[in-house]
Amino acid sequence: MSDTKVRLTQMVTSAGCAAKIFPHILSEALKDIEWKTNENVLVGFEGKDDAGVYRINDELALIQTTDFFTPVVDDPYVFGQIAAANALSDVYAMGGIPLSALNIVAFPQKEDLGILKDILRGGSDKINESGAVIIGGHSIDISNIVYGMAVTGSVHPDYIKGNNSSRPGDVLILTKALGTGILNNSVKFGNPESGVYDKLISSMTRLNRNASDAMVKAGANACTDVTGFGLAGHSMQMAKASNVVFKFFMNNLPVLEGAVKGIGDNLLTRGDKSNREYTKEFIFSEGKVDSIKEHLAYDPQTSGGLLISVPEENSDLLMNLLHEGGDETAVIAGEVLNSDGKYKPGSVIFDYK
């Protein structure tokens, strides 16, 4: 490890996926541009899916994605691991197998290069764990530290788990506990207890590989990973793309230890507000609103879990596979409904009853 007392989180203004461009601003920037496509583009811009998918032949398609962000923790090696796990997640969410990765690096070269070496080593170790390989990258010298990867994976064209194929009657399963954005702010501005910190790091460095394998075996219909737009934003995108309504059982949502205290200490990220703005026309509440659970639903997640839409008859199998494979916080979080006169397609209901 580098011998440095520099705190990475103090070198940037926003941490992790909370540093994303606000979704409503990004949507404005993307619109009215002619994004050309062809018959081999199986997944493109249309549904705001996790990654793009390009067909090579009838049995092989490539999943392509990129993800990078500013430090969420002070330890460079751990930051590298988290960034790599987060970048791999989009491939896992599509039901794919990671093949290769390219490093994306921004680093002030006047700083201790041992920090950079440890970041890269963390990323390399996590990619090695996935079975993929790093084959290159690109770096620039700027004041903010940024690290991530462009990842390529493979999937059979007939077995893509997109965000547009959720079906009424499906069960919604969430594989990781919520609260990473709040707790990352606790790391940046506070001093979380060691047990709280350890569980946070364990969650963010855990690959979604087992969850991906499990959902494929269980015949899941659709999936997205939960990252910067929070559970609210990513579920809204998935419900819109699938032309259905999602209902979440808010009292079932898994919560990382320390996140509730963080909310009480007002350690909310800027993403809480921007995700509310992004989803405001599609979020509805039933029952007495629990502001704690509500904050958790809007909290931007870094290296969050998968939100899986699976036929009800397969849900027990999927839950067993998840728990047996180590995804201990996975829960049945909600259900998929038909849109009706009350709720339009894309609506997300927060059920507090």
Question: Which residues belong to the active site?
Answer: 17
Q: Reduce the DSSP state of residue 94 to 3 states and report it.
A: coil
DSSP state of 217: H
Per-residue CA distances from 248 to 172, 221, 310, 314 (Å): 8, 18, 14, 19
Per-residue CA distances from 226 to 56, 168, 269 (Å): 28, 21, 16
Q: How many helices (H) and strands (E) does the chain have?
A: 11, 13
Contact between 318 and 216 under an 8 Å Cβ cutoff? The reply is no
Structure tokens at 329: 């916080």
Torsion sign, CA atoms 271, 272, 276, 279: positive
Distance of CA 273 to the CA centre of its chain: 18
Burial of 280 (0-12, 13-18, 19+ CB in 10 A): exposed
CB atoms within 10 A of CB 163: 26
Q: Reduce the DSSP state of residue 89 to 3 states and report it.
A: helix
- Determine phi and psi for 156, rounding to 5 degrees: -75, 135
The amino acid at 219: G
CA pair distance 155, 91, nearest whole angstrom? 9
Burial of 91 (0-12, 13-18, 19+ CB in 10 A): buried
Mutual orientation of helices 291-298 and 230-242 as an angle, nearest 10°?
A: 70
CA pair distance 73, 7, nearest whole angstrom? 8
